[in-house]
Structure 1
Amino acid sequence: MDKSLYIGMSGAKQNMLAQRAHANNLANVNTTGFKKDFTQARSMPVFGEHFPTRAYAMTERPGTDLSPGALMQTGRDLDVAVQQDGWMAVQNNLGEEVFTRSGSLQVDTNGLLRLASGEPVLGNGGPVALPPYERLLIGADGTVSIVPIGGQANELVQVDRIKLVNPPAEALQKGEDGFIRRSPDQAIDEPEPVDVNLRLNSGFLESSNVNAVEEMIANLQLSRQFEMQVKVMQTAEQNSEATARLLQNL
């Protein structure tokens, strides 16, 4: 009886964790460039100084769906979307190089090109810094050009180039901050090399690759599974009480 109780208890707990992952996917259905997480459950033996007669359920995040989302036209000069299976390199709060496909950019008061969430966008030699300008243009190859203050409309000056990278998909993982990075076992000692073949669509944003209907159905299924696990625990408790009464009557 304690076997079924343990399975029901661990199963209910892991159902809740899986629901949290799908709820996070659903909450980010409108987040630009968001990549949904997969969930998976499996049976694991309980190790220790006893016979291997106990098992528990474990839900883990086996990976992230890196497939691209749909392109949304905005017409804004500072909105960009990566055309192929590549990434833009940005700098997170810890100073690490991480990757994203969220291309909603802005320029702060110091002239730094940043994501809408505030992380600096990396260029050829570090964060992209812009002098005062009248207009900013981002080319298909990531080139950042400006029309200087007082300059003619066709007087473009190249300032920097957004760093576009394309590491192997199997080497990538998503961190808790939502950014993509190399997994520890696939890390390299030098910065990620630039892929000159990647291109940007200016005036577009990439939507999330989350399917809201699929995530809602998955949450409903997990809710039903949770109810089933609770019933298993209730049945185990009832069987335990019935066994105790039988033993009392002996």
Structure 2
Amino acid sequence: MDRLVYTAMTGARHVMEQQATVANNLSNATTTGFRAQLDTFRAVPVVSEGLQTRAFVVDSTVGADMRAGPIQTTGRALDIAVRDQGWIAVQSADGSEAYTRNGSLKISENGLLQTTSGQTLVGDGGPIAIPPDTTVMVAGDGTVSTISTDFKPGPANVLGRIKLVNPDPKGLVRGDDGLFRQLSGTPAENDPAVRVVDGALEGSNVNPVDSMVNMISLARQFEMQMSLLKNAENNAAKATQILALS
């Protein structure tokens, strides 16, 4: 009985963890630039004196679905979407460099170009400062320029270039703040091949229909594990009755 209980318990616990991941993905189905989280598990055979007919479920690695989401046109000058592969470099709360696909930008009270979540964008020469009373434009290569709105329009004033990177997806890990970082901890190199689309945002790559189907499938798997635990309880009760008769 104990063997069956522990085997079914590991399966049920990890099914619940998968349900939590699917629920988190589903709640971010409309989050700009969100990458769906993927759980990976593996079966480990239980080594014993008998036949290796049992296996426990253990965590393997937690990754992310790196497929690009749909690009939606907004017409807003401070909205940019990364085309195909690539990331926008930002400065996280602890000062380290992190990466995001959320290109919804704003100008902070101090005049710095930031994401709407409050992370300052990293430029070629550091943070990009936007002067007041100007119209901001972002080119396809990430170059940020402005035109004054106080006087007669003149030539654009180039302020800098947003750092766009394209590191190996296998070397990226998602942090608790939702931003991605390199496993090595070192900043990624600037990639001039990464392009952005202005006046647009990238949507989440979560498919709500697939997530709902996955949740139903996981619920059925959890019920199966609970049935195994119920069978173990019944077997123990029957064994107790037989021993009492003898």
TM-score (structure 1 length as normaliser): 0.91
Aligned 8 A contact 1:35 1:65 in 2: yes
Aligned 8 A contact 2:81 2:197 in 1: yes
The equivalent residue for 1:193 is: 189
Percentage of identical aligned residues: 40
The equivalent residue for 2:96 is: 96
Q: 2:228 aligns with which of 229, 232, 235?
A: 232
Tell me how far apart the structure 1 counterparts of residues 211 and 26 of structure 2 sit (CA, whole Å).
6
Tell me how far apart the structure 2 counterparts of residues 173 and 163 of structure 1 sit (CA, whole Å).
19
Aligned 8 A contact 1:15 1:59 in 2: no
Aligned 8 A contact 2:164 2:192 in 1: yes
Q: Counterparts of 1:1-250 in structure 2 under 5 Å?
A: 1-45=1-45, 55-148=55-148, 150-184=150-184, 187-188=185-186, 191-250=187-246
Shift of 1:149: 5.1
Q: Deviations over 1:170-221 (max 9, x none)?
A: 222222221111124xx44xx3211112211000000111111001100100
Residue 63 of structure 1 aligns to a residue in which SS?
strand
Instruction: Give the total of aligned pairs.
Output: 244
Shift of 1:55: 3.7
Shift of 1:10: 1.4
Shift of 1:153: 2.4
Q: Deviations over 1:85-140 (max 9, x none)?
A: 11100011111111111100000111011111111111012222222132111111
Structure 1 residues 60, 212: closer, same or farther in 2, change over 3 A? farther
Tell me how far apart the structure 2 counterparts of residues 195 and 154 of structure 1 sit (CA, whole Å).
31
Residue 147 of structure 1 aligns to a residue in which SS?
strand
Tell me how far apart the structure 2 counterparts of residues 218 and 150 of structure 1 sit (CA, whole Å).
55
Shift of 1:51: 5.4
Which range moves more in the overlay, 73-82 or 55-64?
55-64
Tell me how far apart the structure 2 counterparts of residues 68 and 154 of structure 1 sit (CA, whole Å).
37
Aligned 8 A contact 2:182 2:188 in 1: no
Tell me how far apart the structure 2 counterparts of residues 215 and 59 of structure 1 sit (CA, whole Å).
21
Tell me how far apart the structure 2 counterparts of residues 113 and 211 of structure 1 sit (CA, whole Å).
31
Structure 1 residues 152, 199: closer, same or farther in 2, change over 3 A? farther
Tell me how far apart the structure 2 counterparts of residues 235 and 96 of structure 1 sit (CA, whole Å).
52
| AA aligned opposite 1:4 | L
Shift of 1:60: 4.6
Tell me how far apart the structure 1 counterparts of residues 114 and 197 of structure 2 sit (CA, whole Å).
17
Residue 64 of structure 2 aligns to a residue in which SS?
coil
Shift of 1:61: 4.5
Higher strand proportion: 2
